[in-house]
Chains A and B, each alone.
Chain A
Amino acid sequence: MKPLLEVKNVTVRFGGVLALDDVSLEVRPGEFLSMIGPNGAGKTTLMRVVTGTVKPVSARIRLDGRDITMLPTHQRARLGLALTHQIVRPFRSMTLLDNVTLAAGHHRIGRVIRALTAVDRSAEREQARKYLELVGIAEAAEKSVLGRPLGVVKRLEVARALALEPKVLLLDEPLAGLNTAEAARLADTVAEINRGGLTVVMIEHNLGEVLRVSRRLAVLDNGRKIADGDPGAVMRDPAVRAAYLGKEYQDAAA
């Protein structure tokens, strides 16, 4: 099967530091790929190269066969890449519903005149509401983002990304900061969405959930990919264990 997302030979330098060293990755349609690795390994940086926020020294990115390496971020978003962030960044001056509605109208944003005059947003608002329901925060739809608990805002991030109707959903530590119950619920929601056909790439530290829901695991350490494949096999890889596991692994495997 042809890969949906091809990330080839990504090298990134920040000042004198080599953040990513010739990393390559492929994601097939419908996959649920999780990326793990110690802090500072370069996972978030790699995601940001894919979305275009970070400029690499060298890279080749292809989405659904199309070379997007030179495209600006907003165009990559329109072609079907959505990213949620480790430290949530909702639009603070708007309500939850507005946040998602913005994404839901993504196909209209490009044309300025239509965007200026498009007042009837009821269709998009309905869509947005559905996404809020999907992640289970619909009751807070009309409330402002400010003052919402973290669990709600993290799920808003996901709903907003989904509203973009992406081809690939990139999630950067969606479970960080959530308690066990919340994390499990959100992980289940994402898994369900993936079963529905959406390709997901997730960075996570919560190994328990990672191993529960993902079907493929890639490991980054010090800017290099050191393992890529079936979760079980990867976890048994001594290089991976040596890289960062220790105590956490023992707990997770138990």
Chain B
Amino acid sequence: MLFFELFVQGLIHGSMYAMIAVGLTLVYGLLRILHVAHAGLFALGGYLGLLITNATGSLALAMITSALIVGLGGMLVYRLCYQPILDRPPYVPLIASIGVFIAMEEVFRLVFGPYGLTYNHPHLQSQVTLLGLNLRGAEIGMVITAMVLLGGLSYLAQNTRIGIAWRATVDDPEIAESFGIDAVKVRYLNFFIGSGLAAVGGIFISLLSNLVEPTMGGVPAYKALAIIVLGGLGNVKGTLVASLALGVVEAFGTIYIGSYLDRDAIAFAFLIAVLMIRPQGLFTGR
């Protein structure tokens, strides 16, 4: 029973990772940029979600609004930070991205204070007993939302016009252009969707801990990078599998070897072990 519970907790944690990491792998797949600032957008999503919920009392409204605003924010980051330097070697956008992330953290601290904010009445705190486990509404909500959104994304990619256009642009932006696809519009959409997903992830996290802090993007900033490498750079399915796998590994690892290695050490040990066997990651990426 304990093992089952640890496993489920691992999947819950993993679905949180998935919502953040997918946006990162989408950007890498399209532009080969390590979009560290993504973690700042994740934190922004958490802040907006909390503030709107506290102001209006509606979590649903907060989620939609926050996702929209952060989606636009992601597009803005692309336009201002990445588009001007796309032709430079890859470490240039990476450094710019890190700079944006650090700036965002400090802005959060200056605007919202270093103490962090809490919900007036956190939603989804009621407990549900499922399969003999005591789970909170927010945990179940997060897993379901992750499945729905990521499932929707997959459907979009496979079955719609825009999905095909996106896949074409990932494969070969120049040729995609010559078939009438505006690569810039595809990029905007890419950032919009990835950032929106991260915002939703940020809101669920804040519900689970009832806390948003300026540094809440700190761990996702590097953890998500590890996850997309683990899953195969640019491979969305791989990222999802890697996220869940990592969640489960951490869940067991922190309990049984937690006195020797902390959570991050366990995560990176797992990453290194996998890469030694399969250097390209679990699935082949771009």
Contacts and interface: CB of A to CB of B under 8 A. Distances in A.
Q: Quick check: do A and B touch in the complex, using CB within 8 A?
A: yes
Interface string B34-77: 00000000000000000000000000000000000000000000
B180 A109 contact: yes
B175 interface: yes
B180 A78 contact: yes
A102 interface: yes
Contacts of A116: 156, 160-162
B178 A109 contact: no
Chain A contact residues, majority secondary structure:
helix
Nearest to A114: B161
Contacts of A78: 180
Interface in B146-179: 156, 159-162, 164-165, 167-168, 170-172, 174-179
A243 interface: no
B168 to A, nearest CB: 5
A115 B179 contact: no
Interface string B123-163: 00000000000000000000000000000000010011110
A102 B165 contact: yes
A160 B171 CA distance: 15
Contacts of B171: 91-94
Given A91-B172, A92-B171, A93-B170, A72 B160 contact: no
Interface stretch (A4-12, A15-23, A117-125, A194-202): A117-125
B161 A108 contact: yes
Interface stretch (B9-17, B102-110, B182-190, B205-213): B182-190
A109 B172 contact: no
B178 A119 contact: no
Contacts of A177: none
B160 A83 contact: no
A164 B161 contact: no
Contacts of A51: 178
Given A116-B156, A116-B162, A119-B160, A93 B167 contact: yes
B275 interface: no
Contact of A112 (B174, B178, B185): B185
Given A91-B172, A94-B167, A73 B160 contact: no
Interface of A: 51, 53, 72-75, 77-78, 82-83, 85, 89, 91-94, 98, 101-103, 105-106, 108-110, 112, 114-119, 121, 160, 164
Interface of B: 156, 159-162, 164-165, 167-168, 170-172, 174-183, 185, 189
Given A77-B180, A89-B174, A94-B164, 14 more contacts: A53-B177, A73-B177, A74-B180, A74-B182, A91-B168, A94-B167, A101-B164, A102-B168, A103-B179, A109-B161, A109-B179, A121-B159, A160-B179, A164-B180
